[in-house]
Amino acid sequence: MKTLVLIAATYALAFGGPKAQLCKPSGCNGELCTEKGKKMISPCVVLPQHQCVKKSKCEVQADGKCGWTQTEEYQACLKQFLPK
């Protein structure tokens, strides 16, 4: 069964299958990536690095669950918040 879920998630990621449409940002600042229709609550703490989340993708991951896919733009954005 795990293999079937992995295949379905991989298909959704590669070809935009039905699961690709099942994830959406949620939480107070849009920092959570959850299934559409699932209500998630998070503390309304605004951190400067939260602006970087918009540069990543909320989508189905290889394990079949919703999560963030980091992009190069996301990683570059986070670098400005690292201690120097």
Of residues 19 and 74, more confidence is placed in: 74
Q: What is the pLDDT of residue 35?
A: 93
Residue owning tokens 């602006």: 51
**Averaged pLDDT score across all residues of the chain:** 79
Percent of the chain residues past pLDDT 90, beyond the cut:
43
pTM (two decimals)? 0.66
Cβ-in-10-Å burial (0-12, 13-18, 19+) of 3 comes to: exposed
Q: What is the pLDDT of residue 20?
A: 53
Q: Supply 54's token pair.
A: 């918009």
pLDDT tens track for 43-68: 888 888 889 999 999 999 999 999 99
